[in-house]
Structure 1
Amino acid sequence: MFRGIHHIALICNDYPRSKAFYTELLGLRILAETWRAERQSWKLDLEVPGGGRLELFSFPDAPPRPSHPEARGLRHLAFAVEDVRAAADRLTGLGIAVEPIRRDALTDRLFTFFADPDGLPLELYEL
């Protein structure tokens, strides 16, 4: 039945800031950008390497997402990388705070977390 994940939708507070974060800093390619006047909202379709998409929305007056302590729902979004240390160093060099690198006790893989401009937890997970 399922063939994969098609997209993940994110709602941001500051559209230009989030667009720059995901495209300029993280390097995701823009597939489409649409202004939806009836909703006073931008929709940005971004290509995730390896398949799938991120949809970035800018709904006006969206409430903040509870994150800390952990809340129900989407916990975080993980990006697969070849080298966690190199990816973390790149983000740090761009001024993005990255947590210390840890080792997954179940898989023995390296991972770390950082956050997008709205505080959504993002993970780097080594293949």
Structure 2
Amino acid sequence: MLQAIHHIAVICSDYERSKQFYTEILGLEIIREVYRLERKSYKLDLALNGQYVIELFSFPDPPPRSSQPEANGLRHLAFAVSDIDKAVAHLKTHDVITEPVRIDPHTEKRFTFFTDPDGLPLELYEQ
């Protein structure tokens, strides 16, 4: 029945700040950007290595959502990286704070967490 994950939808509180974070800092590519006048909302379709992965939405005054990693619901969004030290160093040049790198005791792979401009938990996982 299911074939793959098609995309992840993210609602942001400051569209320009989040657009800059996901495109300029994380390096996602813009597929299309649409302003939906009837909803007073932007919809930004983003790709990673040519694959459509994130829809970034803006809405007027979206309510806050608990985003602590142990809250009920989606825990975090993880991105695969080949060199976690290089990825962390890149984030630090943009003043993005990451947690200390840890090692997954089951896979022995290295990973770390950080947040987007709205506090959405994001993870880097070394492949």
Alpha-carbon RMSD: 1.2
The 10-residue stretch of structure 1 (67-76 or 2-11) with the greater mean CA deviation from structure 2: 67-76
Contiguous gaps of at least 5 residues in structure 1: none
Does 2:104 match 1:104? yes
The normalised TM-score by structure 1 is: 0.95
- 8 Å CA contact retained: 2:31, 2:47: yes
**What stretches of structure 1 move > 3 A for 4+ residues in a row?**
none
The alpha-carbon deviation at position 54 of structure 1 amounts to 0.3
Between the two proteins, the alignment pairs up a number of residues equal to: 127
Task: Note closer, same or farther for the CA distance 1:8–1:69 as it changes in structure 2 (3 Å cut).
Answer: closer
1:125 and 2:125 are equivalent in the alignment:
yes
**Residue 82 (structure 1) aligned with residue 105 (structure 2):** no
Relative to 1, partners in 2 of residues 1:41 and 1:20: Cα closer, same or farther, differing over 3 Å?
same
* Unaligned 5+ runs, structure 2: none
Structure 2: distance between partners of 1:51 and 1:67 = 26
- Residue type matched to 1:107 in 2? T
CA distance in 2, matches of 1:69, 1:29: 27
Q: Alpha-carbon deviation of 1:9? A: 0.1
Identity %: 61
CA distance in structure 2 between the aligned counterparts of 1:35 and 1:68, rounded to whole angstroms = 30
1:67-114 Cα shifts (integer Å, max 9, x gaps): 237221111000000011110111011111111000001111000011
Q: Distance in 2 between matches of 1:124 and 1:34?
A: 29
Q: What's the counterpart of residue 32 of structure 2?
A: 32
Contact conserved, 2:45 with 2:52, CA < 8 A, in 1?
no
Alignment of 1:37-48 (within 5 A): 37-48=37-48
Contact 1:81 1:126 in 2 (8 A): yes
After TM superposition, list the pairs within 5 Å mapping 1:55-74 onto structure 2: 55-68=55-68, 70-74=70-74
SS for the counterpart of 1:88 is helix
CA, structure 1 residues 29+60, in 2 after alignment: closer, same or farther (shift >3 Å)? same
